[in-house]
Structure 1
Amino acid sequence: RLTQARPDGYVLMMTNIGMAASATLYRRLPYDVLTDFAPLGLVSDAAMTFIARPGFPAGNFGEYLAALKQQGEGLNLATAGLSSAANLCALLLHRTAGARATVVVFRGTGPAITEVMAGRIDLLCDQATNTVPFLRDGRLRAFAVTSTTRLPGLPDIPTTAEAGFPGLTMSTWHGLYAPAGTPEPAQERISAALRGALGEARLRARFADLLTEPATPERASIAFHRRFHAEEVARWKPIIEAAGQFAD
């Protein structure tokens, strides 16, 4: 566990949006996500895609939401677990629609996508990295992406903000952390190395293949990551509490 590691800059952790959600999902955590970790910089952001089974009766994202509002638990929606980005996206979807589908939890994205393609699951919100192969070959249809701008790899799919729902903007972010108490000079060296790596052409090309956006130098800084980390914990707390979803 990172919180038990010596804070010398040699033991690090890369984690994702689940870090922010866990602060509320687990009411008896043995650590504090705000004070027991040292954010060193964000690494990447990946948009989520709102998709539906083949033949789902919606022509655009507004109709997608309208169907959920009208049918509620008559529709089922796949997630990959309470702390997954897919589940957090589902919470935003339910809040925006004012209705809740029947949630079906799978052990990972692969089985969930398989069931959507087979028509046994109606809805799914999952990372573009996972869904893009099926979107490109036509086996799935995306109604919107949750990024602030359209994805270069999926230019015909509107953002949720373009569709009129800016509150559904989110990303599956990854960030680098050290134990709290790691000396500031060590933190700065690691953060600088991260920014250097994110500037390498080969890495950026690989991220582009995965429809993942590498963090800008600003977002990969310690100062930005500290602020963002706290903002994400604060953002997801009332959403999770309102849903009454807890993992303990």
Structure 2
Amino acid sequence: MKKLVAALAAAAALYSFSASAQDYPTQPITIVVPFSAGGPTDTVTRLIAEPMGKALGQSIVIQNVTGAGGTVAAGQVAKAEADGYTVLMHHIGMSTAPTLYKNLPYNPLEDFATVGLVTEVPMTIIGRKDFEPNTLQELVDYAKANKEKVTYANAGIGAASHLCGMLFMEAIDTQLTTVPYQGTGPALTDLVGGQVDFMCDQTTNTTGQIKGGQVKAYAVTTGERLASLPDLPTTTEAGLDMQVSVWHGLYVPAGTPDDVVQKLTAALQTALKDQNVIDRFAELGTTPVAQERATPEAHTETLSSQTELWKPIIEAAGVSAN
């Protein structure tokens, strides 16, 4: 009798869980952003949140949880209930964290289910307005000749600007003095103010300063020129073998029901076709990913391949956050 009662109870619980997954969502959804409000990841998240919420029939709340290059937020989501109500938006840092952080409290490939990629943001190499080099080749030559005094700003270990800087130094086979900041904002402020020489950061951060003439722009780190910055050459055009973009994607805790993930993926795909999202992304120098990349399968493949790509680069640079 006890076994029958237990079996019935288990069946009832399974039915209840299945039914709740089918009804999802019945309450607001929280998207956790690992960086400060106003930053590029936060901006991308807020742009897609409204159309995603409309598609799901629920409001979406943005929660900024900063610290340790995004690992604090990711760790929080990894431990959240796997019910689809806590979602993580993260960028390329999900693929670099396992190498940068030796005591990482989660495994990006095991402790999360992927929802889909959102966008790949190009990066630009920029310098202070009065920096001596005027072209990318001149910058490379100047950096090699003056490596002891040239300063490269970044937004901290694991930030996109930090990763781009490592790639740049590897590409020119020269180690430069890096100046880490607590975020892109203060790094850009000091660059505009002339306290540091140059940096590499996402177009979502730099397009305004480039168009406003506040900084000197050298190149965009993509294979093709950008419609938003048509006069800016690519790194390849300028003779530097270096390409990098900052991809963003949505995650939920591992174990989240497949049909819940599917609903989130469908809402994401709807949001990426929203004209306001397309227009605002264009203003920021980026575009939504193609629909076939806004899927769990494409997202997982990107996360896995990028983790393998960055591992030897980070290890060769001897960089570690803990």
- State the one-letter code of the partner of 1:67: Y
Q: Could you say what secondary structure the match of 1:133 adopts?
A: helix
Which amino acid letter does the alignment assign opposite residue 180 of structure 1?
A: A
Deviation at 1:126, TM superposition (A): 1.1
Aligned counterpart for 1:208 among listed residues 278, 282, 285: 282
Task: Report how far residue 224 of structure 1 moved.
Answer: 0.7
Residue equivalent to 2:15: none
**Runs ≥4 in structure 1, deviation > 6 angstroms?**
none
TM-score by length of 2: 0.74
Q: Is the 8 A contact 1:2 1:13 kept in 2?
A: yes
Task: Give 1:79 deviation, angstroms.
Answer: 0.6
Shift of 1:54: 2.0
CA offset digits 1:54-108 (Å, max 9, x no partner) = 2322232122112112211320110110010000000001101111111111122
Deviation of residue 22 (structure 1)? 0.8
Structure 1 unaligned regions, length at least 5: none
Deviation at 1:239, TM superposition (A): 0.8
Pairs within 5 Å for 1:144-183: 144-166=219-241, 168-183=242-257
Q: Is the 8 A contact 1:7 1:183 kept in 2?
A: yes
Match of 2:313 in 1: 239
Residue deviations 1:13-63, cap 9 Å, x none? 111111111111101111111111111111111111101122322232122
CA distance in 2, matches of 1:162, 1:223: 33
Q: How does 1:104-143 map to 2 (within 5 A)?
A: 104-143=179-218
Kept in 2, the 8 Å contact 1:66–1:97? The answer is: no
Shift of 1:212: 2.3
Change (3 A) 1:173 1:140: same
Which residue identity is paired with 2:160? A
Of 95, 117, 132, which residue of structure 2 is paired with 1:42?
117
Give the aligned partner of residue 31 of structure 1.
Answer: 106
State the structure with more CA Rg.
Answer: 2
Task: Give the letter for the 1:174 counterpart.
Answer: H
Count, aligned residues:
247
Q: Which residue of 2 aligns with 1:75?
A: 150
Q: What displacement does 1:118 show?
A: 2.3
Confirm whether residue 98 of structure 1 aligns to residue 183 of structure 2.
Answer: no
The percent of aligned pairs where both chains have the same amino acid is: 42
Contact 1:142/1:157 (8 A) holds in 2: yes
CA distance in 2 between counterparts of 1:140 and 1:47 reads: 17
Structure 1 position 189, deviation (Å)? 1.9
Alpha-carbon separation, structure 1, partners of 2:192 and 2:276: 33
Which residue identity is paired with 2:291?
A: P
**What residue number does 1:21 align with?**
96
Determine the structure 1 residue equivalent to 2:269.
195
TM-score (norm 1): 0.95
| Partner Cα separation in structure 2 for residue 200 and residue 116 of structure 1 | 35
User: Quick one: which amino acid aligns to residue 132 of structure 1?
Assistant: T
Any gaps of 5 or more consecutive residues in structure 2?
A: 1-75
1:231 is displaced (CA, Å) by: 0.9
Secondary structure of residue in 1 paired with 2:114: strand
- Residue identity in the other structure for 1:242: A
**Which structure has the higher relative contact order (CA within 8 Å, separation 6+)?**
1
What does the per-residue CA deviation read over 1:194-245, in whole Å, with 9 as the maximum and x for residues that have no partner? Answer: 1111001111111112212211102111111110010111111111111111
Preserved CA contact (<8 Å) 1:39 1:229: no
- Read off the aligned partner of 1:173 and give its amino acid letter: W
Distance in 1, matches of 2:216 and 2:315, equals 31
Equivalent-residue separation in structure 1 for 2:192 and 2:87 (angstroms): 38
Per the alignment, residue 220 of structure 1 pairs with 294
Which position in structure 1 is the counterpart of 2:22? none
How far apart are the structure 2 equivalents of 1:3 and 1:128?
29
Structure 2 residue 259 is matched with structure 1 residue 185: yes
